[in-house]
Chains A and B, each alone.
Chain A
């Protein structure tokens, strides 16, 4: 309950219900602007990852790690709140951050597949965090150049914190890969699984291209190379072997998710769906 409540406590602090109907949204709408798409996926990435991280609360390998991962979760949920609130404003249909978080089904979520992957062991969680934070750091650096002042403002505020997370995750990837035979094996296994989901992070779909060309969400042309430049040295230092891969697995940005997401959302959304309009 506690991880669930932690997410709910933060997300339900928002007051002032608009009287919006709480009909679950199942599918991505056809008429989503590129601005709305970008804001929603920023929020969905942060929300899904944050919820995953709260699953460690009370179960981490040590008390300090429990606190650390809970803090990572809190930061991520905090980011989600900001992005989804902005998405609601952009959409202009009166939906709040809570409506986005609790009243959409998996088919409407646009997070990357990487962040919905189960936590697995601590190595899996830290490798996922490292690969994702390298991506997020670059995204935020680019968003600081957004023509939308609210986006620029949020991205600037988040960047320091994400760099802190990246450093933390990187240290753990090195510690685990260079630790015992077992920790090294588990880190390699994590990389073997999660590497498949990294091409999706680097994907430039139509929403990315339009939002980049109109200045709302600038995206450097060297994004993939820059991401690789952050990630590769750490993997090399850990003697980690990159799996052979052709295309990877994607679909999250189009609402096509692995079997994991709906189960996670069911747990996350259950209380709000059972008692619509619930406030703490």
Chain B
């Protein structure tokens, strides 16, 4: 590797690589959009990434850790260290605006702001605000189940945490 190539192995490149690492269960949203990346630092071609999974029992966490390692390798980093930190716990406010709109387009209502945590979501199908909560627990640890009174469809929402 030339010195010039080596100097491109920086934080910006790492962030770029991680923007293509998708949530295994919600394939439209990346680990960057989710806001699970605490920090990235690069030294001598070695990338150190700290992440906080969304939920303690998130079964996707280990997959995401592996995928992050793979993505960093593919970008040319000599080696990588991905560490998991549980506190402070992830909050849904860490999700990016882009992430929220990608979720909506995919059919999953994005989380509310923590300040307004009990507000009802708009239906991702028909955009009606006549929705109600069926269960605080959905098909995965991070989602809750709602129903739209207007179009009758059930839908999930990423939970506010």
Residues of A within 8 A of B (CB): 10, 13, 64-65, 67-68, 70-72, 74-79, 81-82, 144, 152-161, 164, 168
5 smallest CB-CB distances across A and B, nearest first, come from A78-B57, A156-B87, A157-B86, A68-B137, A64-B135
B residues 52-109 near A (Cβ < 8 Å) are: 52, 55-59, 62, 85-89
Known contacts: A10-B59, A75-B56, A78-B58. The answer to whether A157 contacts B134 by CB under 8 A is no
Q: How far is the CA of A154 from the CA of B56 in the complex (A)?
A: 8
Known contacts: A67-B135, A67-B145, A160-B161. The answer to whether A78 contacts B55 by CB under 8 A is yes
On chain B, the residues within 8 Å of A71 by CB distance are: 137-138, 141
Residues of B within 8 A of A (CB): 52, 55-59, 62, 85-89, 134-139, 141, 145, 161
Q: Count A-B pairs with CB separation below 8 Å.
A: 71
Q: How far is the CA of A156 from the CA of B89 in the complex (A)?
A: 7
Does B87 contact A67, Cβ atoms closer than 8 Å?
no
Most buried by A among B52, B85, B89, B145: B89
Does A153 contact B87, Cβ atoms closer than 8 Å?
yes
Knowing that A156-B89, A157-B87 touch, tell me 14 more A-B residue pairs with CB under 8 angstroms: A10-B57, A13-B62, A75-B57, A75-B141, A76-B57, A78-B56, A79-B57, A153-B85, A154-B56, A154-B86, A156-B87, A157-B52, A161-B56, A168-B136
Interface of A is mostly: helix
Q: How far is the CA of A230 from the CA of B4 in the complex (A)?
A: 62
Q: How far is the CA of A159 from the CA of B89 in the complex (A)?
A: 9
Most buried by A among B137, B139, B145: B137
Within the complex, the shortest CB–CB distance from A176 to chain B, in Å, comes to: 16
Within the complex, the shortest CB–CB distance from A228 to chain B, in Å, comes to: 26
Within the complex, the shortest CB–CB distance from B111 to chain A, in Å, comes to: 13
Q: How far is the CA of A70 from the CA of B139 in the complex (A)?
A: 9
Known contacts: A64-B134, A67-B137, A168-B136. The answer to whether A74 contacts B57 by CB under 8 A is yes
Of A65, A75, A77, which one neighbours B55 at CB under 8 angstroms?
A75
Does A152 contact B87, Cβ atoms closer than 8 Å?
yes
Which residue of chain B lies nearest to A73 when distances are taken between CB atoms in the complex? Answer: B57
On chain A, the residues within 8 Å of B86 by CB distance are: 82, 153-154, 156-158
